[in-house]
């Protein structure tokens, strides 16, 4: 596995060796002049990378800056980021900054927020990163194929005071559908994937490689940033012999709590874990993905070095993470129902497509299988499914009336997940993508404080393609 520290334009070391975990950071002098934006160039291009490793052949991919994932972009909270995106693909594209609360014009949604970047052209994105945490970037034009072929990367916004850990590691997870010669199966967006679970592949990678071992040391404390960049695969990870502490979800801090059971990560979701390496020198532990019944596999091994980093176990972890998000006023919130329908084994018989009611068979002939509130989307431009008054609090009760789980993503905002099937959640997590199991409902709450037209869609990219997409307007 390629350590993420080997690339990235602005990576600074967060490795503290020696005695104490709470090593003092070099203090940063307060600047009186606003600093120049951090500048990054992303070139979207065809590339060739080794996903599986020798002796297997390399794989033709589409990628940023010749690597999968693209460079890990790192900025500090509140810093301005300027990214020049050059499109050297043969088709239009845009880049979306998933989970970052950017101004609407920088959100990277084709036609809705910008003219797509034509082949050979470039576009400069510039925005402030208001929240510290783990985010990512990916195209939003034909994303089922562009992301599926390898166009994505991590966007890490650092806290002023990073967590007291020995090492910080990013794992960008992906899932590929490869043929025997290690090439990518070209059957993107086929109707079977669209109407079932999406494009589930056959090869999982961590940071663009089929992983084998991840080297750790006894006594070490690691902040592990997980990002699910897969089109459709939901990961359900268990760290055998270890008890990771969840400290953030979708970039936003959560009350640190041990994860009992699997760590479930739907497409586009992120989770920050603090993992104490409680094994002994020379030991090996499996990290297993067992989300899909009977399809479990070993993702990677935690391989302990022969020498311990320290003998004593570190102090209990205290997570001083925080972001400043507008708190929804639940008692004054306006409530709306959102119903997800369609798909195989669903009960939806028809939906509105471009103003016409079509039966599900006709929809399927047109590559559509899903709807939100009875409307199946054919592109990014729509009449809003909901128009919000600015700075007003909203609660959306999202009912998944289908036989499949859906990771629903709202652009431009983070929301609290306040209830599942009518029961209040324990942690009222801030998320930007919430996985809603089949036939279940989830209540999310947010303040509509970011004006513009924002996508609200399923992040199983084949479901998005198949109509599960809409617009929430903040006027």
Site of interaction with Cu ion (CB under 5 A): 406, 458, 460, 463
Cα(first)–Cα(last) distance of the chain, in Å?
Answer: 46
Buried b (16+ CB within 10 A) or exposed e, 383-396: eebbebeeebbbbb
Q: Binder to ligand C2O among 144, 196, 457, 463 (CB under 6 A)?
A: 457
Q: Least distance from C-beta 457 to ligand C2O, angstroms?
A: 6
Beta carbon nearer to ligand C2O, 113 or 402 = 113
Buried b (16+ CB within 10 A) or exposed e, 409-436: bbbbbbbbbbbeeeeeeeeebbbbbbbb
Beta carbon nearer to Cu ion, 210 or 460 = 460
Residue 273 CA to residue 262 CA, distance in Å, equals 13
Q: Least distance from C-beta 471 to ligand C2O, angstroms?
A: 11
Q: Least distance from C-beta 187 to ligand C2O, angstroms?
A: 22
Beta carbon nearer to ligand C2O, 221 or 411 = 411
Examine residue 463 and tell whether it contacts ligand C2O (CB under 6 A): no
Residue 142 interacting partner from ligand C2O, Cu ion, none (CB closer than 5 to 8 Å by kind): none
Residue 268 interacting partner from ligand C2O, Cu ion, none (CB closer than 5 to 8 Å by kind): ligand C2O
What DSSP letter does each residue of 330-395 carry, written as one string?
TTT-EEEEEEEEESTT----EEEETTEEEEHHHHHHTT--EEETTB--SSS----SEEE-TT-EEE
Neighbouring C-alpha atoms within 13 Å toward the C-beta of 437? 6
Q: What are phi and psi of 173, to 5 degrees?
A: -90, 140
Residue 186 CA to residue 175 CA, distance in Å, equals 14
Q: Least distance from C-beta 406 to Cu ion, angstroms?
A: 3
**What is the β-pairing status of strands 423-424 and 221-228?**
unpaired
Examine residue 96 and tell whether it contacts ligand C2O (CB under 6 A): yes
Buried b (16+ CB within 10 A) or exposed e, 52-79: beeeeeebebbbbbebbbbbbbbbbbeb
Residue 460 interacting partner from Cu ion, ligand C2O, none (CB closer than 5 to 8 Å by kind): Cu ion
Whether cis (ω within 30° of 0) applies to the bond prior to 55 is yes
Give how far Cα 379 sits from Cα of 11, 16, 140, 200, 324, Å.
37, 48, 11, 23, 33
Beta carbon nearer to ligand C2O, 108 or 201 = 108
250: alpha, beta or left? (left if phi > 0; alpha if psi -120 to 50)? left
Size, binding site for ligand C2O by CB under 6 A: 10
By CB under 6 A, what part of segment 392-431 binds ligand C2O? 409, 411
Residue 146 CA to residue 103 CA, distance in Å, equals 24
Beta carbon nearer to Cu ion, 217 or 380 = 380
Query: Helix (H, G, I), strand (E, B), or coil: what is residue 422?
Result: coil
Residue 458 interacting partner from ligand C2O, Cu ion, none (CB closer than 5 to 8 Å by kind): Cu ion
Q: Least distance from C-beta 460 to Cu ion, angstroms?
A: 4
Query: Helix (H, G, I), strand (E, B), or coil: what is residue 441?
Result: strand
Beta carbon nearer to Cu ion, 74 or 406 = 406
Examine residue 98 and tell whether it contacts ligand C2O (CB under 6 A): yes
Query: Binding segment for ligand C2O among 47-55, 330-338, 441-449, 454-462 (CB under 6 A)?
Result: 454-462
Residue 406 interacting partner from Cu ion, ligand C2O, none (CB closer than 5 to 8 Å by kind): Cu ion
Q: Which residues, in sequence order, are bridge partners of residue 428?
A: none
Q: Least distance from C-beta 142 to ligand C2O, angstroms?
A: 13
Examine residue 177 and tell whether it contacts ligand C2O (CB under 6 A): no
Residue 270 interacting partner from ligand C2O, Cu ion, none (CB closer than 5 to 8 Å by kind): none
Q: Binder to ligand C2O among 42, 63, 157, 268 (CB under 6 A)?
A: 268
Examine residue 199 and tell whether it contacts ligand C2O (CB under 6 A): no
Which residue number has the CB closest to ligand C2O?
98
Beta carbon nearer to ligand C2O, 146 or 350 = 146
What binding mask, one character per residue, do residues 140-159 give for ligand C2O by CB under 6 A, x or -? Answer: x-------------------
Burial class (CB in 10 A: 0-12, 13-18, 19+), 292: middle
Query: Binding segment for ligand C2O among 60-68, 245-253, 371-379, 453-461 (CB under 6 A)?
Result: 453-461
Examine residue 233 and tell whether it contacts ligand C2O (CB under 6 A): no
Q: Chain-centre distance of CA 467, in angstroms?
A: 20
Residues that bind ligand C2O (CB under 6 A): 96, 98, 138, 140, 268, 409, 411, 455, 457, 459
């Amino acid at each position: 596995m390629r350590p993420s520290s080997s690339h990235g334009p602005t990576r600074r070391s967060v490795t503290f060796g020696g005695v104490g975990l709470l090593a003092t950071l070099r203090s940063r002098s307060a600047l009186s002049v606003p600093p120049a934006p951090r500048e990054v160039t992303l070139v979207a291009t065809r590339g060739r990378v080794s996903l599986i490793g020798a002796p297997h052949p390399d794989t033709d991919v589409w990628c940023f800056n010749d690597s999968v994932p693209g460079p890990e972009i790192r900025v500090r909270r509140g810093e301005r980021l300027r990214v020049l995106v050059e499109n050297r693909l043969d088709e239009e594209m845009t880049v979306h900054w998933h989970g970052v609360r950017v101004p609407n014009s920088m959100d990277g949604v084709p036609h809705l927020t910008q003219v797509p970047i034509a082949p050979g052209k470039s576009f400069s994105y510039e925005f402030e990163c208001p929240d510290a945490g783990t985010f990512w970037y990916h195209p939003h034009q034909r994303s089922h194929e562009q992301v599926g072929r390898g166009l994505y990367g991590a966007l890490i916004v650092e806290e002023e005071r990073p967590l007291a850990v020995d090492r910080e590691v990013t794992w960008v997870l992906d899932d590929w559908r490869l043929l025997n010669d290690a090439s990518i199966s070209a059957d993107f967006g086929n109707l079977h994937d669209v109407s079932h679970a999406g494009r589930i592949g056959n090869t999982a990678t961590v940071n663009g490689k089929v992983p084998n071992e991840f080297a750790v040391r006894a006594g070490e404390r690691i902040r592990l940033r997980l990002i699910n960049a897969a089109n459709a695969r939901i990961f359900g990870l268990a760290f055998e012999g270890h008890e990771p502490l969840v400290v953030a979800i979708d970039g936003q801090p959560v009350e640190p709590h041990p994860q009992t059971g699997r760590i479930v990560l739907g497409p586009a979701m992120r989770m920050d874990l603090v993992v104490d390496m409680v094994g002994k020198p020379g030991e090996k532990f499996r990290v297993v993905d067992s989300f899909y019944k009977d399809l479990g596999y070993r993702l990677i091994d935690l391989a302990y070095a022969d020498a311990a980093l320290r003998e004593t176990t570190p102090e209990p972890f205290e997570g001083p993470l925080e972001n400043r998000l507008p708190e929804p006023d639940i008692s004054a919130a306006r409530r709306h129902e959102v119903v997800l329908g369609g798909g195989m084994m669903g009960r939806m018989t028809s939906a509105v497509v471009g103003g016409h009611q079509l039966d599900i068979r006709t929809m399927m002939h047109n590559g559509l299988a899903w709807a939100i509130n009875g409307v199946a989307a054919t592109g990014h431009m729509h009449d809003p499914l909901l128009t919000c008054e600015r700075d007003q609090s909203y609660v959306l009760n999202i009912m998944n009336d289908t036989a499949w789980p859906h990771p629903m993503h709202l652009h431009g905002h983070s929301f609290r997940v306040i209830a599942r099937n009518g029961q209040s959640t324990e942690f009222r997590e801030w998320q930007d993508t919430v996985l809603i199991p089949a036939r279940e409902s989830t209540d999310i709450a947010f303040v509509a404080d970011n004006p513009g037209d924002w996508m609200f869609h399923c992040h199983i990219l084949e479901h998005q393609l198949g109509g599960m997409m809409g617009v929430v307007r903040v006027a």
